Amino acid sequence: MIPLWKRPEVTRFCFEGVKRLQKESRHQIDVSCVLSEEEFIDTCSEFGFDWHFAPNNPLGQKMNIGIASTLKYDYDYLMIMNSDNVVESELIDRVYEPFFESLNPYFGIGKVTYVNFYTHEAKEVTYSLTILGIAKMIHRSVLKKSTKLYRPELNRCLDNTMMDVMIALGISPTFVDYEGMLAMDFKSEVNIWTWEQFANKGKTVCYKPKLEEAN
């Protein structure tokens, strides 16, 4: 599930990354977007992605609506992304595979590479005891307990408060470590958390964009 918000150029770039992921991964990946702006309807249709409409404010409620809208699909895991994220198939097919096999109910990563969308400057930042919004995995059995995994009144700090909601449901988070640049968050001038907030954090890494497009 991908919530959409503004920055159409970044969204299109990341949609291309999702199409590449669908092509490369050995897992079947269906895509459902929750959008708040009509301009994205045509974009979703162009990429073959399903969509559901919900107000952007508050964001927590939008996310819960998006989660509930995915239940029409027959899936094992719900993967939550953002419209400025790209992940490599290695993360899904190799790093996550043991957690799929063990039917782990709730897991994800705490390391991400922030990339300046315009300059390609990149910073690798690791968070402790946090499951980030990018490539967060939730087993379908969890959604039988509740689809309201985010505090509906919030617009910020959704990932940390989601952990509190999950713990209240009796589900502990599993933090997944990995090596390499497998999860990227692209920063443009329109972002809740701008590039400038990360420019002096983490370690500098070399990001090389993939020039080929997924067809």
Decide: helix, strand or coil at residue 17: helix
> Where are the domains positioned within the chain?
2-206
Query: What is the mean predicted confidence (pLDDT) over 146-161?
Result: 93
CATH ID of 2-206, from 1.10.1060.10, 3.40.50.620, 1.20.210.10, 3.90.550.60: 3.90.550.60
SS3 content of the chain, % helix, strand, coil (to 5): 35, 25, 45
Give the pLDDT of residue 214: 44
Three-state secondary structure of 86-106: EECHHHHHHHCHHHHHCCCCE
With bands split at pLDDT 50, 70 and 90, how would you rate the model's confidence at 212? very low
pLDDT tens per residue across span 67-88? 999 999 999 999 999 999 999 9
Question: Would you say 174 and 73 are in contact if contact means Cβ atoms under 8 Å apart?
Answer: no
Of the listed ranges 138-147, 166-175, 204-213, the one predicted with least confidence:
204-213
33 and 53 in contact (C-beta within 8 Å)? no
Work out the mean pLDDT of the chain and round it to a whole number. 94
Q: 211 falls in which pLDDT band (50, 70, 90)?
A: low
The answer, yes or no, to whether residue 38 has pLDDT greater than 50, is yes
